[in-house]
Amino acid sequence: MNKLSYGLLGLISTQPLTGYDLTAKINRFWRSTHSAIYPLLSDLTVKGYIECVSEKQSGKPDKKIYTLSDSGRELLNEWFSSETGSEVIRDEASLKMYCIKCMDEETANKLFDELEIRYKNKIDEYKKALLKLKDTSLEQENAAFGGYILTQRALAKAEIDLCWCQWVRKVYKETDMNFMESSFTDYR
C-alpha cells in the first residue's frame, strides 16, 4: 500500500467512482496519470479493499464503478490515524528562479511573463471550480466539503505565487538597492 492507494481509497469512500473519475479528481492534490492508477485499482480489488461493478457502454470500454468494502473502510481508518508524510514538491520554476540573477534581462523577463500567465490561469481555474461546487453540493456533502476546502487552499497558494512573482520582478529591477530591505511579507 503506497500513499496514492490510500488516496484512491479515500476518494472512493465519499462516493462510487471510476478509474477515469479518480484520475481527474486526484490530480488537483496528487500528480498522477491513469497509467499509474488503473493497475493500483486492480490490486486494491484483488486485495478486497474495493469492489467493482461493470456498466456496459457502446463504443467505449465498460465503465468500472468502484465502491469501498468493509475491510477497505477499516484500512482507511488506520491510515487516518497514522503519521502523515511530508509534502513532496518538485517545481522547475523554483529551480530557475534560484538562478534569476545569472540570466540576462530578456530571459528573466520572459520567465516572469510565462509564470505570471500560468498563475493567473490557475487562479481562474480554481475560481471556476469553486462556482461549480456550489451546484453539486446537495447530494454529495462529504466529497463537496473536501473538494471545497482543498480548492480554497489551492486558490490561496496560486494567488501567493502570482503576487510573489510580481514582487520578484520588482526587486530584480532594483539592482542598486540592497534586496534584503524588500520583504515579501510587507509587499503582500
Partner DNA sequence: TATGACATGTAACATGTTACATGATTCT
Partner DNA sequence: AGAATCATGTAACATGTTACATGTCATA
Hey, which residues between 31 and 60 contact DNA (CB under 7 A)? 31-36, 38-39, 41-42, 57-60
Residue of 53, 80, 105, 174 interacting with a second copy (CB under 8 A): 80
- Side-chain-side CA neighbours of 134 within 13 Å: the count stands at 6
Task: Supply 61's cell numbers.
Answer: 470500454
Site string for a second copy, 123-152 (x = CB under 8 A): ----------xx--x---xxx-xxxxxx-x
Integer Cα distance of 186 and 188 in angstroms: 6
Question: Largest Cα–Cα distance of the chain, in whole Å?
Answer: 68
Count, residues in the chain: 188
Is 2 among the residues that bind DNA (CB under 7 A)? Answer: yes
Is 63 among the residues that bind DNA (CB under 7 A)? Answer: yes
Task: Supply 64's cell numbers.
Answer: 468500472
Site string for a second copy, 34-73 (x = CB under 8 A): ----------------------------------------
Least distance (Å) from DNA to the CB of residue 47? 13
Q: Which stretch binds DNA (CB under 7 A): 24-32, 74-82, 134-142, 149-157?
A: 24-32
CB atoms within 10 A of CB 143: 18
Q: Which stretch binds a second copy (CB under 8 A): 16-24, 35-43, 53-61, 108-116?
A: 108-116
Q: Terminus-to-terminus CA distance in the chain, angstroms?
A: 41
Q: 36 vs 149, which CB is nearer to DNA?
A: 36
Is 128 among the residues that bind DNA (CB under 7 A)? Answer: no
Integer Cα distance of 40 and 155 in angstroms: 29
Q: How far is CA 38 from CA 104, 123, 185, in A?
A: 45, 30, 43
Q: By CB under 7 A, name the binding residues for DNA.
A: 2-4, 18-21, 24, 31-36, 38-39, 41-42, 57-64, 88, 90
